[in-house]
């Protein structure tokens, strides 16, 4: 039995084409779909990796500047503690040569109804000289906490203190001071 060579080659080629079309092509399409899914997953992974590495970089920068962040935290603290504020005012007044006659809480309310930021107002009645007032105001300004002096009123009659070589004029001052807290 003799086979015709061109017909045999054509039949074998046809069978190979059928096998490729029915067996290899579906697997190739399945392979392409899996390859596309892997590419999408790799892109999602790379995006998450970049996001978390950026968060880590920002965290490292914040840790490097922790003292500055702590100063910001002390400028507007998260708790409303009146005792330390009163002590601070008394201490700074004494350091600058002033006498605190009275210290009154005038306001403790949110800045806006929908805001968590609270405004705390104090009225300070102090006695001292103008230079003592100036240094007291400078110490408030240099403080890490945010203080805003909204009003200063003073009396015109000064009391001379005898016993010193020069007459030191002592005046009554009233300061309205605002600070903030969360």
- Give pLDDT tens digits for 123-175: 999 999 889 999 999 998 888 788 888 899 987 665 555 544 345 688 899 99
Query: In the numeric block, which tokens belong to residue 70?
Result: 């702590």
Give bridge partners of residue 179 from the DSSP assignment. Answer: 120, 147
Out of 3.40.50.720, 1.10.3720.10, 3.40.50.10490, 3.30.70.60, select the CATH number for domain 75-181. Answer: 3.30.70.60
pLDDT of the residue at 40:
96
- Is the pLDDT at 45 greater than 50, yes or no? yes
- Is the pLDDT at 79 greater than 50, yes or no? yes
- Hunting for tokens 């705390």 — which residue is that? 120
**What is the residue extent of each domain of the chain?**
1-64, 75-181
pLDDT of the residue at 157:
63
The pTM for the full model equals 0.56
pLDDT of the residue at 165:
38
CA-closest candidate to residue 133, choices 111, 104, 100: 100
> CA-CA distance, 70 to 182, in Å (whole number)?
15
3-state SS, residue 60: helix
Q: Are 152 and 175 in contact (CB under 8 A)?
A: yes
| pLDDT tens readout for residues 13-27 | 999 888 888 888 888
Q: Which H or E run contains 107? A: strand 99-110
């Amino acid at each position: 039995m003799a086979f015709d060579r061109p017909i045999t080659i054509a039949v074998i080629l046809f069978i190979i084409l059928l096998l490729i079309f029915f067996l290899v092509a579906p697997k190739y399409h399945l392979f392409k779909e899996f390859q596309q899914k892997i590419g999408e997953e790799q892109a999602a992974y790379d995006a998450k990796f970049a996001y978390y590495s950026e968060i880590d970089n920002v965290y490292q920068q914040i840790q490097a500047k922790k003292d500055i962040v702590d100063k910001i935290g002390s400028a507007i603290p998260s708790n409303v503690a009146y005792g330390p504020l009163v002590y601070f005012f008394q201490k700074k007044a004494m350091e600058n040569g002033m006498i605190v006659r009275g210290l009154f809480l005038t306001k403790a309310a949110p800045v806006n109804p929908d805001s968590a930021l609270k405004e705390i107002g104090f009225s300070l009645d102090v006695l001292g000289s103008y230079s003592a007032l100036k240094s007291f105001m400078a110490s408030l300004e240099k403080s890490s906490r945010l203080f805003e002096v909204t009003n200063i009123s003073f009396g015109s009659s000064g009391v001379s203190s005898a016993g010193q070589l020069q007459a030191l004029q002592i005046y009554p001052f009233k300061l309205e001071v605002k600070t903030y807290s969360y």
